[in-house]
């Protein structure tokens, strides 16, 4: 049985999480199908984002959208994605075309964000291509928390992502 691999034009359907006390901004590339269905970030059950952030912030692992938002904001973390609209096949980052970036500068202007962290190479490359030249702020690549990045163990991810502590404490 052959699975159809059709590209669809998709608009980002998740509002950014931030407030005026946010100190770091974590950007993914574009929400997965699961995240779009749940209307919140990192919705795939195998994505390790919430496990990593809860370990770094020494918080209980959040289950609900409200708990996730509270954990992020309580630790001065903002979250959004680089891409606001694109052509994509399912959740495949490598299929992203015809990008319209999100207005990342609105978060920077309305917060205390001094550092942007990119969750994975695709987010990093898209940020460099579409956003970095328009925003004068430091940014850094972190390894993807996606289940597709299976070569990185949870403990290795936590070690690498622990750099956030320098900015949120």
One digit per residue, the tens of pLDDT, for the chain of length 169 reads 555 578 889 999 999 999 999 999 999 999 988 999 999 999 988 899 999 999 999 999 999 999 999 999 999 999 999 999 999 998 888 889 999 999 999 999 999 999 999 999 999 999 999 999 999 999 999 999 998 898 999 999 999 999 999 999 7
H helix intervals, the chain: 33-38, 49-56, 65-74, 105-109, 121-130, 154-161, 165-168
Task: Say if 85 falls within a structural domain.
Answer: yes
pLDDT score, position 20: 97
Please count the residues of the chain: 169
> Which pLDDT belongs to residue 2?
54
Does residue 136 sit within a domain?
A: yes
The helix-helix angle for 49-56 and 65-74 (nearest 10°) equals: 40
Is 151 within the bounds of a domain? yes
Query: How many structural domains is the chain composed of?
Result: 1
CATH of the domain at 115: 3.40.470.10
Residue whose C-alpha is closest to residue 78's, from 24, 40, 132, 29? 24
Instruction: Look up the pTM and report it.
Output: 0.94
Give pLDDT, residue 7: 84
Q: Is residue 70 part of a domain?
A: yes
Residue 2 forms part of a structural domain? no
pLDDT of amino acid 145: 96
Domain annotation covers residue 156: yes
The reported pLDDT for the residue numbered 57 is 97
Residue 1 domain flag? no
Say if 63 falls within a structural domain: yes
Under 8 Å between Cβ of 79 and 47: no
Q: Give the pLDDT confidence score for residue 3 in this predicted structure.
A: 54
Full residue range of the structural domain in which residue 116 is found? 8-168
């Amino acid at each position: 049985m052959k699975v159809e691999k059709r590209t669809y034009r998709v608009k980002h359907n998740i509002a950014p999480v931030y407030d005026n006390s946010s100190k770091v901004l974590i950007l993914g590339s574009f929400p997965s199908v699961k995240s779009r269905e749940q209307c919140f970030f990192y919705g795939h059950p195998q994505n390790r984002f919430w496990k990593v952030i809860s370990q770094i912030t020494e918080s209980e692992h959040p289950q609900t959208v409200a708990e996730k938002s509270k954990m992020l904001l309580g630790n001065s973390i903002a979250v959004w994605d680089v891409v606001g609209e694109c052509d994509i096949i399912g959740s495949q980052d490598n299929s992203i075309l015809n990008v319209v970036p999100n207005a990342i500068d609105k978060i920077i202007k309305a917060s205390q964000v001094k550092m942007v962290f990119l969750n994975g190479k695709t987010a990093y490359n898209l940020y460099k291509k579409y956003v970095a030249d328009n925003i004068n702020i430091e940014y850094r690549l972190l390894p993807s928390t996606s289940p597709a990045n299976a070569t990185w163990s949870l403990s290795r991810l936590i070690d690498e992502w622990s750099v956030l502590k320098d900015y949120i404490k």
